[in-house]
Amino acid sequence: MSELFEKLQPHLDKAYAYRVAMTMLNWDNSTAAPKEAIDFTSKAMAILSGENYKALINDVVKGLLQQLSTDEENAKLTPYEKAIVKNMKKEFRNMELIPPEELQAFEIVLAKAYPVWEEAKNTNNYSIYAPVLEEIISYTKRFAGYKQKPGQKLYDVLLDEYEEGFTMEILDEFFCQLREALIPLVAQIRKKPDWISIDCLRKNYDIETQKKLSHFLAEYIGFDFNRGVMAESAHPFTTNLHNHDVRITNHYLENKLEDAIFSIIHEGGHALYEMDIDDAITTSPIGGGTSMGMHESQSRFYENNLGRSMEFWKPLFGKVCEFFPEELKDVTLEEFYKAINYAKPSLIRTQADELTYSFHIMIRYEIEKMIFDGDVDVKELPRIWNEKYEEYLGMTPENDAEGILQDMHWAGGSFGYFPSYALGSAIAAQLFHYMEGVMPVKKYLEEGNLVPVREFLCEHIHKYGGSKNTQELLLDTVGEAFNPKYYIEYLTEKYTKLYEL
């Protein structure tokens, strides 16, 4: 470590400590905190946010970053240190542009927003959520405006925060390709509505037993309960303090066994990414996944490319039957495999099948573009939402709870995030295609041996954390940049065979 970088390290450590405290409060707020705690807790979160700001945005840090960016000093840095300096310069610029008092005020709004969203969803009352959503959008527009470069569109500013280098131009083309390929495929499948039965998944599955099954599946794919915990929340998510403290949540529905199964495999994929990050950088600014898209690729890889394959369940289905011997006693592996891959347009994104999932993302993407590069009244969003569901999926939500209130992301200020879900699915297919060419992936799955798969992902993706961006990781791993053709080919081949089209 260079002498200059040593001087920067205490500032990074202090900021990390504040981030840990805020992460803990957010985790508690989403899992175990009493409803009436939020007003006072939000005050603590606002103070922590202000202290985190001051730990990084000050003249000393600014001077150190400037010195570390000179050719002479930069040459003394390790690759990880160079990545940290690059990340810090971007972070510094973004945070320096936002007045600290506005950032603190925004944190208070966000701290209150999640419980309001949850109440609105539970009571099907968008009107109580609309004012706080409008406030979040207002702050987000203002902050994006501070960061906006000449000629840059406002929504592109937000997209770049989650997936560096991906713009509306790139995403419009990506979603255009998906529409052209998937709409005809979905139309063909709609003509065979009774081809696959999902009755085996709609029996009454005891919730406590589902929790035990979820614990088993998390361990099976590699989640280390010595370095992680599992809880319950309204919307499954993953968070972490560092690679030795990674936390996942799940939710359970008595008559939808697949919800718990695939939510835990999905969140497990996120968690493995965080657990496998190099110890040397886990508490640093590059100590998390490099982007939302790459992070989502890991969860989708485990959930879909592995978890919805026949090979994955060959050594596992008997184990699942041991958890539910009565409910699954007359169900074959073939019936179970088809049921978990059943394709039919639905209203709930998190319950969507693998084939139609990206339509849910397109809808949110188009609405976000309207919000940030257009002019739309927040009160009109439920109507716009419903119209787009009718246009893309031929369905209209009966109420806002199964419509615009179903996702928590906007309550957290996460605008520009949703496209990452579709990008992640496409990146997962690209990685899976490459891995099949260099190792017998399906053979490993049939043997119940996921170790070689995880080791490959750790070696080529996970351990680097945020030291490389998505395109760099793809180029270094598979030899080409982002390419959606593998995703389209994967879905087309899989569902053409499954539905015998």
Catalytically active residues are 267
| Cα maximum dimension of the chain | 71
- CA-CA distance, 171 to 124, in Å (whole number)? 32
Identify the bridge partners of residue 228 per DSSP, sorted by sequence position. 246
Place of tokens 């699915």: 425
| C-alpha 264: how far from chain center | 13
Between CA 358 and CA 426 the distance in angstroms is 10
Task: Please check whether residue 290 is in contact with residue 473, taking contact to mean a CB–CB distance below 8 angstroms.
Answer: yes
279 contacts 85 by C-beta, under 8 angstroms:
no
What is the number of alpha carbons within 13 Å of residue 493 lying toward its C-beta?
10
> What are the tokens at 219?
């361990």
Distance CA 410, CA 177 (A): 26
Task: Decide: 264 and 214 in contact? Cβ < 8 Å.
Answer: yes
258: helix, strand or coil: helix
The residue type found at 317 is: F
| Residues facing 266 on adjacent strands | none
DSSP 426-452: HHHHHHHHHHHHHS-HHHHHHTT--HH
Strands 245-250 and 228-232: parallel
